[in-house]
Amino acid sequence: MKESVIDLLLQIRYVEIIEFIGTFAFAISGIRGAATKNCDWFGAFVLGFVTAVGGGTLRDLLLDITPFWMLNSIYLWCTLLALLFYIFLREHLNHLNRFFFWSDSIGLGLFVVVGAEKAMLLGYNSWVIISMATITGIIGGILRDVFLNKIPQIFKREIYAFPCILGGSCFVFLQLFNFQLPFISIITVGVVVLLRYIAVKWDLQIPRLKSER
């Protein structure tokens, strides 16, 4: 019994570490979007924070638990760190589109792991685990684009949700074989990043819905 409690606490701490890294990666995405609209530093901070925690907030509300960022101020500091990172390095980063792509893709993969892991720890079924993984990954980007008065890219161009769904499915599948969480996390993140890369590399898109005219 004691060992199972310790294992659970270690899993929770592991999730927090992943969530922190994912928060930084997604905050950078939101801050960069704010820069394209000439927002001030406060506006960039707010948009970065919303992008980073939006998916996790909706996930936690649906799971009937307190949103993760309300339990620890470190996510606010993480967003501030991302803002300072962008401010001081923006002249270099603006020429590094690959940096933003990989940062966003890795953050997406990490959030998929966090969403799946939290739903699993609460004892939900596989389809809920996959749904929470997807919600954690995509909602922040949707909120970012809405705040920037743009049609969310997930609805019109890039294959963004599909890697989350397959990543969540991979997480569930590997759990059936009782692999260790670090191994499952690495494979899941790898699946998400690889699918994002393939979709962008070959410009893969979901067929668009056409109007009657």
- Residue 18 CA to residue 12 CA, distance in Å, equals 10
Please give the torsion angle defined by the CA atoms of residues 50, 52, 53 and 56, in that order, rounded to the nearest 10 degrees: 140
22 or 11: which carries more pLDDT confidence?
22
pLDDT at 22: 87
Q: Is the pLDDT of residue 8 over 60?
A: no
pLDDT tens, position by position, 68-123: 999 989 999 999 999 999 998 877 766 667 778 888 899 899 999 999 999 999 99
pTM (2 d.p.)? 0.88
pLDDT at 95: 67
pLDDT tens, position by position, 145-195: 999 998 887 887 668 899 999 999 999 999 999 898 889 999 999 999 999
Quote the crossing angle between the two packed helices 2-36 and 126-147, to the nearest 10°. Answer: 20
206 or 54: which carries more pLDDT confidence?
54
pLDDT at 21: 85
CA separation (Å) from 211 to 35, 108, 208? 34, 32, 10
Nearest to 138 by CA among 118, 158, 154: 154
